[in-house]
Each structure stands twice: as C-alpha cells, then as structure tokens.
C-alpha cells in the first residue's frame, strides 16, 4: 500500500514539474514573440511625443544611412 502511495506522489510531482516547465516555456515564447511589437509601440509613442532621445535609442542611424 505504501508503495502505491509513493508512486502516486511521484506521478503528481512529475506532472507538476512538467506543467511548470510548459508554463515557463510558454511565457518565454510569448515574450520573444511580443518583443518586436513592444518596440514598435515604444517607437510610435516616442514619435508622437517628439522624444528624440528615445528615437535615437531605438534606431541605429548610421546603419539606416548606409
């Protein structure tokens, strides 16, 4: 009986670890995919506010000129 209980506990821990891993992987993937949109949003806000400092941080002007 005790052997069966430890098997069940081990299975629950395995499922919990896998669930945490999937949630972490999903969070990282969502962050990676949303990063360009966040940058475009920041650029849009900086252009509307005429904030040249933020625009200069977001755009590599020497690369744009070449």
**Residuewise pLDDT in 10s, the chain (66 residues):** 566 678 888 888 989 999 999 999 999 999 999 999 999 999 999 999 999 999 999 999 899 998
Tell me, rounded to whole angstroms, the distance of Cα 63 from its chain centroid: 27
Strand, coil or helix: 13: helix
Q: Is 61 exposed, middle or buried (0-12, 13-18, 19+ CB in 10 A)?
A: exposed
- For the chain, report the end-to-end CA distance as a whole number of angstroms: 74
Contact 42, 50 (CB under 8 A): no
For residue 11, what pLDDT is reported? 85
């Amino acid at each position: 009986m005790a052997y069966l209980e430890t098997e069940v506990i081990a299975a629950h821990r395995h499922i919990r670890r896998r669930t945490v891993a999937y949630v972490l992987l999903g969070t990282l993937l969502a962050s990676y995919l949303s990063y360009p949109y966040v940058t475009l949003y920041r650029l849009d806000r900086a252009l509307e506010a005429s904030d040249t400092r933020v625009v200069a941080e977001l755009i590599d002007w020497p690369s744009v000129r070449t």
